[in-house]
Amino acid sequence: MQQSSASVPVKKKAMAINNEPSLKSRTSLSRLKLAGYIVLRSGTIGLISGSVLGGLFGLTLLAFIWTGAIGAGLGLGLGLVNGLLLSVTTCLFFYPLKYVRLYHGVVKFISASIAAGGAAAFAPWYFSSTPMTPSSAVFIGFNSVLASIVAGWAGGLAGQNIAQWYEQKSAVDTQELARRISRITITLNKPARHLAAISLAEKLGWISVALFSLLCPLLGKGLLKSLVCGDLDVISCLPSPRLYTSVIEGFKVAIPIVFSIMLIVSVLGSRRRA
């Protein structure tokens, strides 16, 4: 009799725990609201970063306002496209958020790819009907490569910002669920533990993008030109010194360099963690 009476509260507690709603039903954001926030956040980041980076690239052309306006429009468009794609991906595969690292990687990859691809395709499309000299084709083509690299970098940071926001929002919902089920120990990924490090890394990331984009128009064109053509003249170097040829030749040099730098950074980061 004592055993049966003692087991009654245990059964009641188990039934109460089992009757608790899941994390999915307790989340404060519905799929529609989550998608709207992601699109709004991505579009805002794209507008701001596009206008700033576009203005910085306009320093060499003495057209800060013109390039800033073009960068703002391009950044807003790419940001909205990126936000729509991220919202669909998040609502279909990461709602609620269970695999944080995978989500971070997917979001950063999508954001960087859209930003870099859009920036790389914009200049050849925009200047496709403009008469080109060899020098102007090389100048615009190589700066398109540099703009694509910077835009991809900024897009990766924008994706990281969105992923961190959703991670923190999911962690808050998880904490609310843990408070209501006080008898169960739930391992939480609390954003407060890493909030200072996240904010510092994010600020340093955007500052480095701004500095890199500021130096690119001044130094990047000459660097890529020397790497591709060496001491040869542009007409002798490129078989058809037009815009598309310049973009292709620039990417042939820039992509291996970017991948090498990313590999070195990842190896150094893994050693520090170990």
Whether 181 maps to a domain, the answer reads: no
- Residue 27: per-residue pLDDT: 54
Whether 187 maps to a domain, the answer reads: no
**Residue 190, φ and ψ in degrees, nearest 5:** -75, 125
Q: Which residues of 102-123 are buried (b: 16+ CB within 10 A; e: fewer)?
A: ebbebbbebbbbbbbebbbebb
3-class DSSP state of 238:
coil
- Residue 81: per-residue pLDDT: 92
Q: Is the CB of residue 42 less than 8 Å from the CB of residue 162?
A: yes
CA–CA distance, 79 with 7 (Å, rounded to integer): 57
Whether 64 maps to a domain, the answer reads: yes
Structural domain for 102, as ranges? 28-169+193-273
Give the global pTM.
0.74
Whether 186 maps to a domain, the answer reads: no
Whether 16 maps to a domain, the answer reads: no
pLDDT (tens place) for every residue of the chain, 274 residues total: 444 444 444 444 444 444 444 444 445 667 888 888 889 988 888 888 888 888 777 655 556 777 788 888 888 999 999 999 999 998 888 887 888 889 889 999 999 999 999 988 888 888 877 787 888 888 888 888 888 888 898 898 888 888 888 888 877 766 666 666 554 544 445 555 555 555 666 677 777 887 887 777 777 777 788 888 888 887 888 888 888 888 888 888 888 888 888 888 888 877 776 6
- Domains in the chain: how many in total? 1
Whether 197 maps to a domain, the answer reads: yes
Q: Is the sign of the CA dihedral 143, 147, 153, 154 positive or negative?
A: positive
Q: Is the sign of the CA dihedral 132, 136, 142, 146 positive or negative?
A: negative
CA–CA distance, 210 with 201 (Å, rounded to integer): 14
Whether 87 maps to a domain, the answer reads: yes
Whether 90 maps to a domain, the answer reads: yes
